[in-house]
Structure 1
């Protein structure tokens, strides 16, 4: 399926709902205060988005939070909802028989008779995919799930609270309906996809969304530049964001290698925003002005987003939201730092005896000069 790049200008405008979708779904799919337009997306507040639900799994980590709940599952999504996140982010691929499923990795690993084997997720049928891991039927045992770490180690995919693999349809139907979905269209970085394949995959995903999303807030995002342009061209209901490492990683497709390239792509295709590795923004804070001047929204992802102070600084910078792994901790910190936060102290003994209390604002305060200094300092601090 990989030989030539997509020329989006050759694709007809498919800005319409599939025939079997309700016309009502073309009304605003966002709550009051969220504006969606051809080149603008305005969230009503600073967004906290749960990465793969309640956070991604890191099997080699000693931090229990990274192995508390199986990522990209209904259990993880609803766990995140309990902590008051605005959206969850998850990865969608399409099986060989045309079903959108939720799974991050390009390959799925298992073990049989002492041998480890892997299969490309998109080469599986839906039934084959759902045959891995926990099963609903008490008398049925799924194939064991393993996972390869970044450094190449293969580990059993063990977590404290496990759950079965799921489809996009199941998530749309079974997850808290007020919780927004940031649906990442997942493609292999090392494949150049043909136009017809990309369109088929996107159409399968859109059919699920139009049929089952109802009034749920939806954002599409993808690292694949041509897929981003196509999903924007194939529908006009939901905003599309381009995912980028912002130059922290280098790819063959130059559109992926800088924040400037991301801005150009968004303006070319009428996309609504960018999701950037947070390090790229901290290393080049001046790019934020270009993004905002282009009327694009900006979300970030990355390990620094699990640090409350880094999240608060982004709020001060005017960034629209963050994708985080430590959902409980960061939502709590955001509520404390960004929402009105107070602590109660006693004025004096007399006031205390009368039950009087004094409230003091405990939010950190930065002058514009201090914020400017921090933005100049941070790029030096995080250079590797």
Structure 2
């Protein structure tokens, strides 16, 4: 069965703007990519911030370990500007900054990156506080909310808090075992690495009412592999180039 293939701007339009920053997400939406993916971690004072690594060094040049620093310390650091953009201040945003700015304008894929047990509860609390109808949100549509993680326990915790929120398990390979576990735990989606996405396993997962999308697309070959496997889409750092590749395949 052929499905629509959706491109998710990985940490925003991170090919041309600093990852996980407001300018990066703005550029994704401005260029027509409503699906955005970003990472959420907790600071020492339990503030959910949008950053991938467990410290700030790679993206800012200044090292602060996220879980050991208060938000007031994190907020003083700006992301590196290695891009030809006019703005020169790129704060590490709070989750609430994105929820407010992009409400009903984007399809959000929130990755629970750190392992604190309370992360799920805090993220859900932010969704509730900002009026998100996550129980009825549509995948790949404006207003969509999907909670993803490599940490299965985070997803189980989230589903215990609210069984109707869409959850996505990030894995290396799609296997019979993680299909079985996903069904048992009520996980809605499995996200294997693109290079390991195989049509036969995707078909089996779909027959078990699981959605499939990919991650880890490094080049055209990975993107074509993801597309041909029958998955619903993938995260990608270079969505405009990816869109052109998909258009060439389909036309």
Give your verdict on TM over 0.5: yes
Any stretches of 5+ residues in structure 1 without a counterpart?
1-43, 56-65, 111-115, 134-144, 146-156, 188-192, 247-257, 339-362, 364-384
Aligned to 2:237: 325
Query: Relative to structure 1, is the Cα distance of residues 229 and 214 closer, same or farther in structure 2, using a 3 angstrom cutoff?
Result: closer
Residue 246 (structure 2) aligned to one of 326, 334, 359: 334
Aligned to 2:153: 226
User: 1:311-344 CA deviation, whole Å, 9 max, x = no partner?
Assistant: 3553343211111111111123334544xxxxxx
Report the Cα distance in structure 1 between the residues aligned to 2:187 and 2:68, rounded to whole angstroms: 30
| Alignment pair present for 1:288 and 2:202 | yes
In the superposition, the TM-score normalised over structure 1's length comes to 0.56
Aligned to 1:170: 97
Report the Cα distance in structure 1 between the residues aligned to 2:62 and 2:238, rounded to whole angstroms: 31
Tell me by how many angstroms 1:310 deviates: 4.7
Contact 1:172/1:213, CA 8 A, preserved across alignment: no
Any stretches of 5+ residues in structure 2 without a counterpart?
134-142
Report the Cα distance in structure 2 between the residues aligned to 1:278 and 1:97, rounded to whole angstroms: 36
Q: RMSD of aligned C-alpha atoms? A: 2.4
In the superposition, the TM-score normalised over structure 2's length comes to 0.83
Aligned to 2:71: 126
Query: Relative to structure 1, is the Cα distance of residues 321 and 117 closer, same or farther in structure 2, using a 3 angstrom cutoff?
Result: closer
Tell me by how many angstroms 1:120 deviates: 2.0
Query: Relative to structure 1, is the Cα distance of residues 176 and 330 closer, same or farther in structure 2, using a 3 angstrom cutoff?
Result: farther
Contact 1:239/1:272, CA 8 A, preserved across alignment: yes
Report the Cα distance in structure 1 between the residues aligned to 2:158 and 2:168, rounded to whole angstroms: 10
| Alignment pair present for 1:50 and 2:2 | no
Residue 260 (structure 1) aligned to one of 156, 176, 179: 176
Aligned to 2:212: 298
Aligned to 2:82: 159
Report the Cα distance in structure 1 between the residues aligned to 2:131 and 2:51, rounded to whole angstroms: 19
User: 1:234-260 CA deviation, whole Å, 9 max, x = no partner?
Assistant: 1134210100112xxxxxxxxxxx633
Contact 2:217/2:223, CA 8 A, preserved across alignment: no
The residue correspondences of 1:1-384 to structure 2 (distance < 5 A) are 45-55=4-14, 66=15, 68-109=16-57, 118-133=63-78, 157-160=80-83, 161=85, 162=88, 163-175=90-102, 177-187=104-114, 197-198=116-117, 200-212=118-130, 214=132, 216-246=143-173, 259-282=175-198, 285-304=199-218, 306-307=219-220, 310-312=222-224, 314-335=226-247, 337-338=249-250, 363=251
Report the Cα distance in structure 1 between the residues aligned to 2:50 and 2:40, rounded to whole angstroms: 5
SS in 2 for 1:300: coil
Contact 1:83/1:327, CA 8 A, preserved across alignment: no
Q: Which has the larger radius of gyration?
A: 1
Tell me by how many angstroms 1:109 deviates: 2.6
Report the Cα distance in structure 1 between the residues aligned to 2:9 and 2:223, rounded to whole angstroms: 14
Report the Cα distance in structure 2 between the residues aligned to 1:73 and 1:205, rounded to whole angstroms: 18
Query: Relative to structure 1, is the Cα distance of residues 259 and 119 closer, same or farther in structure 2, using a 3 angstrom cutoff?
Result: farther
